[in-house]
Amino acid sequence: MPQPAPYILRSHRPGDMGWIVHRHGALYHEEYGYDERFEALVARIVADFIEQLDPARERCWIAERDGERVGSVFVVAKSKHVAKLRLLLVEPSARGLGIGKRLVDEVVQFSRTAGYKKVILWTQSELAAARRIYQEAGFRCVREESHTSFGTPAVAEVWELKL
């Protein structure tokens, strides 16, 4: 008999958006040296999500383990036919449990059901684990661009998955 997943996925609720902003800011600073401009970007993304939410076409998932938040991901409408995966995060303490893969799978499944034709995402080349998850889900890198938006040189990538 299969073992139950050591985590649950749920919809967002009050308090989650602040956690998402905080953990992205702290974790990306610790792991990649990003400055507070990255945290500001995350804050804008979550504020826009809450203020413009269309529940039929957009969603946020929170992963919990033993009652603690350990991951998140969003899908938002980029256009009528294009969804955008945003803010995938898995806490270091919960990595290796399949949470990132499951969150991305939820985005893809939801996007298909909502009638999107394509899912796109923006990531950074140094995020190796996330890039591996995207590739395994069928996404392909379609564009790269060097930048220093968060206080450190990086290569931004746009990935897409045709549904």
CATH of residue 89: 3.40.630.30
pLDDT attached to residue 77: 98
Cα dist. 152→12, 86, 90, 124, 141 in Å? 31, 21, 22, 12, 22
Q: What are the pLDDT tens digits along the chain (163 aa)? A: 566 678 999 999 999 999 999 999 999 999 999 999 999 999 999 999 999 999 999 999 999 999 999 999 999 999 999 999 999 999 999 999 999 999 999 999 999 999 999 999 999 888 899 999 999 999 999 999 998 888 888 899 999 999 9
Query: What pLDDT is stored for residue 147 in this prediction?
Result: 85
**Domain presence at residue 48:** yes
Query: Distance between CA atoms of 15 and 20, rounded to whole angstroms?
Result: 9
Q: How far apart are CA 55 and CA 108, in angstroms?
A: 16
Task: Quote the number of domains for the chain.
Answer: 1
Which residues constitute the domain of residue 71? 8-115
Is 20 within the bounds of a domain? yes
User: In the prediction, which pLDDT does 3 show?
Assistant: 64
Is 120 among the domain residues? Answer: no
- Structural domain includes residue 30: yes
Give the model's pLDDT for residue 126.
87
The angle, 0 to 180 degrees and rounded to 10, between the axes of the packed helices 128-136 and 99-113 is 40
In a domain, 57, yes or no: yes
Establish if 132 belongs to a structural domain: no
Residue 47: inside a domain = yes
